[in-house]
Each structure stands twice: as C-alpha cells, then as structure tokens.
Chain A
C-alpha cells in the first residue's frame, strides 16, 4: 500500500523563451499514492511558501485525454509507465531515494515557453493545412446513409485516439512528427467521408509537417512513447498515400 518516499528532483528551469535555462535540484517527500503532478503541486506549494517561484508545468484534464501535460521524465516522454500520460503517472512507479530528471519536450519547433512548458502549436498548423473534412454546417446527409464497415470505423478510431501531446516528437531522435500526422491522416483516410480530399490532404499535411519537423528513420520510439499507443503502421500508410498523392491522376479518380 502507500508509503512515504523521498525523491531527488532535477528540474529544468528557464524563465522565458529567449532566456537560457539550467537544472535546479530539489528534494520532495511524497506518498506513493500521489500522482506525479501532485508531487509537483506539493513542491510548488513549498517553493511558493519559501518565496521561490513555482515550477511552470502544464496540465488540464489530469485524466490522460486532453494532451496538455507531458514532460520528459528520466529521459522518457511521459515517464516510465507504458501507455500513460504524465498526469496519470503515479509515484508508485518510483522508489525512495530515486533521482528524477524532469525536462521539457525538446524539438526546435516546440520552443520552451517557460520551465517545462513548450509551445506545440505547429501541430495546429498541420491540422489547419488540411486535417479536416470539408462539410459546412447543415450540409450533411443522414448519418446512416453511408454505411462504414465496422473494421474501418474501428481503425479510424484507433488513429483518431491521438491526443496531440507531442510525446512522439519529443521521443524521436529526429524530432519527426510522423506519428501525429499519420494518425490524423489515417483517421480520415479510413472513412468514406474522408475520401474526396484524401490526396490533397495527405500532400499538404505532410508538407506542412516537414516545414517544422525532422525526417523519420523508422526507429519506432514514437510508438513506445505514445500514451495512446498509436500504431506505426499509420506511418507506412501515410508514406504510401503521399507517393500516390503525387502520382495519381486525381481528376480521373474523382478525388482531390
């Protein structure tokens, strides 16, 4: 059951985007029942009481769905537990006396805003470049008019489960965003609704992605870091669709 442990924290502190940062060390006593973020909450409470500025770290839903949280914990995106976001990580995973190094997600296109908070808005730019199905409000036909094979719907869901946390980029030695981008593409390409714009979307999203991120070498680290265990197969689908998009006579196949 629960026990009290003491952990030695080494946390990246950086005042602002233009400032240089460094690691600071802290120790924190905590029960193993607590979540990792609650441990940081407590640390921050103590810092505040001592007149020191709290560590900036973001979180919102704290149930692993919004994708706001996310830091590197001992060199692993979202920490040691598989398929778990930072907010769902509990101190049970650590033992008394452990050193825990906490750093922001690193990639040139995820600039640090402060301490552990980074700007992941390039993901929004990737979506903006084509991560949608163009249907104006009110223009939709009855939902059951287009049957979707259950398998396709399930696969679309598997891909759509991505929470946009950025762990894949953080974990990738190349800072590539293939897993994120391919998940969104696969979500839409699996559904009949996504077909008309399929090739156009693949092209623009991949090319926007490449304006910000590195080139994939198929290491597979992203999948290991991904709290939603998004499948590497989607990356292969994206690569294939991209080449098809370039080669296809879209007008004749009735697609953009």
Chain B
C-alpha cells in the first residue's frame, strides 16, 4: 500500500506486520486469530473440566467403582489399540490445548500492555490518575490473568499430587484413586488450596465461557441473553461438583472406614486385586 498521508502527520505502528506464515498457521499470527485459538482451546479445557468433574463423582460410589472408572479410562479403545493409547492421546491434546491457551494468553497480554504504555505516563497497567471506575468489566474479566496462572499452578500440583504421588509418599497407591483422593484432601492445607484453586477456576469460567462466544463470533440476538446464564451455570456447576470433594472429605462423608479392601501400605497389587474382585462379586 502506498502511504501518502504526509509523513509528519502519521503515527507509526507499534508493531510490524510480519511475514505471513502459511495457512492455517497465519491465523495464530494475529490477535483476533489468537483469541479464536484461545476460545477453542478454552472450550476443550471446559470439556475436560466438566468430564473430569463428572467422572470424579464416582467417588461417591465407593473405591471399587472409582477404580473401575479409572480402569475404563485406560481401556478406552483398547479392543483395537494398545491399552492407554487413547488416554495418552487425550492427555497429549490436553497438554497442547493448555500450551496454546497459555501461550496466547501471555502474548496477547503483552500486546495489550505494550499498546497501553504511554510515553509520559507509565505504570505497568493502563491507569488514570482520576481512578478507573470500571462499569462493564467484571471482576472476573479483569482477573483472568490471575485466575489463569492460579489454575495452572494448581494443576501442576494436582498432577504431582494425585497422578505422580510426589507428596503422598507411601500413601500413594497407583490405581486406587479413591484412596489417593481421600489421603490428599483430608489434609487441611491441601483442601484449602484445592478450594481456592477451584474458586479461581469457576471465576475464570464465569468470564471465559461468556467471552468465548464473542471471540468466536457466535452472536445472535435471539440467544445472546442466554450466554451470560450459560457461563454462570457452567461455572456454578463446576464449582459445586469440585468443591464437594474436599468438603465431603473434611466432613468425613468420604472416608476409608467402611472400605472392604483395606489399604496396607506398600502392597499395591494386593489392593488392586481386592478391588477387582469386589467388582466381579458385585
């Protein structure tokens, strides 16, 4: 494009248009496209969070059912494919989604920060001396950049705790999620961290599950009014489900007193065999 507005009156762009990558990678080169990626990965993550939460409800059916659920995840598609392959693929795509979601969040934030710097009035965020009375921006929308990282941190902890058993030590029994969950959440600090993180998650979803419609351009006056409700209910549902675990544990509604296969430390195989047998008996 020839630019013929006299140079002296032309504000310079703060970023250059880079060389375009081939389709569809070029989508990720623009902020609107990146937001779209963010929304799509957000939806993926929403799906994960929902299924994860529903799955975990098996805990109320006791250790054996919980064990069965865990096994069934591993057995997904196992008729034809190697055991655990699908689960690993799912995990992989989750990781990719997470990575993209995170990367776009960080880079877009940086873009906005750069656009708000003002040569003569710098202070990290865009601020006005006269205070900034937000009218539309909700607390949730303004804290996406905080709730996000809290979730990420929690997730790492959560994985380390429940999947890899770093902190449970000897208490950790691979394949007995009921037990692991109980042992983890019965510790007060862990329960508190769990509660906080899930509140952050719900908070994140409260804005995210509304915002993604805008980012994807899903907008129709006929159902626009439903979008806020959808986001709020989704967030509420996840919050309710996920919070029930630490609360129930602390309230001793999830406990190990009545379990048939007692956990004897160190003897993993025995417990698993017991759990499997219990299922077959049923």
Contact = CB atoms under 8 A, between A and B. Distances in A.
Interface of A: 10, 12, 14, 19-21, 23, 72-76, 100-103, 106-109, 111-112, 119, 121-122, 124-125, 128-129, 173-176, 206-207, 210-221, 223-225, 232-233, 235-243, 246-247
Interface of B: 1, 3, 5, 9-11, 13-17, 23-24, 26-27, 30-36, 108-109, 111-121, 125-126, 128-138, 141-142, 144, 207, 210-211, 213-219, 221, 224
B115 A213 contact: yes
What 6 pairs across the A-B complex have the smallest Cβ distances? A240-B217, A101-B130, A220-B136, A214-B112, A236-B219, A174-B112
Contacts of B118: 106-108, 112
A173 B124 CA distance: 11
Nearest to B217: A240
Contacts of B27: 243, 246
B11 A219 contact: no
A215 B134 CA distance: 18
B105 to A, nearest CB: 10
A212 B13 contact: yes
A217 B34 contact: no
A174 B128 contact: no
A247 B36 CA distance: 13
Contact of A103 (B13, B129, B135, B221): B129
Contacts of B133: 74-76
A121 B213 contact: no
B9 A21 contact: no
Contacts of B144: 217
Given A73-B130, A119-B11, A221 B136 contact: yes
User: Which residue, B23, B128, B137, B210, has most C-beta atoms of chain A within 10 A?
Assistant: B128
A108 B128 contact: no
Contacts of A206: 30, 32
Contacts of A73: 130
Chain A, interface SS category: mixed
Contacts of B13: 109, 122, 211-212
Given A173-B142, A212-B11, A233-B224, A101 B115 contact: no
Nearest to A14: B120
Contact of B115 (A76, A111, A174): A174
Given A75-B131, A241-B217, A175 B16 contact: no
Contact of B132 (A75, A107, A112, A239): A75
Contacts of B125: 173
A233 B219 CA distance: 7
Nearest to A181: B32
Contact of B210 (A10, A14, A109, A218): A218
22 contacts: A12-B129, A23-B129, A74-B133, A75-B129, A76-B133, A100-B130, A103-B128, A109-B13, A112-B120, A125-B10, A173-B137, A175-B126, A212-B13, A214-B31, A214-B111, A216-B31, A217-B108, A217-B141, A218-B207, A223-B136, A224-B135, A243-B217
A215 B36 contact: no
A19 B138 CA distance: 35
Given A74-B131, A219-B136, A236 B115 contact: no
Contact of B128 (A19, A106, A215, A217): A106
Contact of A121 (B11, B115, B136): B11
Given A21-B121, A239-B32, A218 B115 contact: no
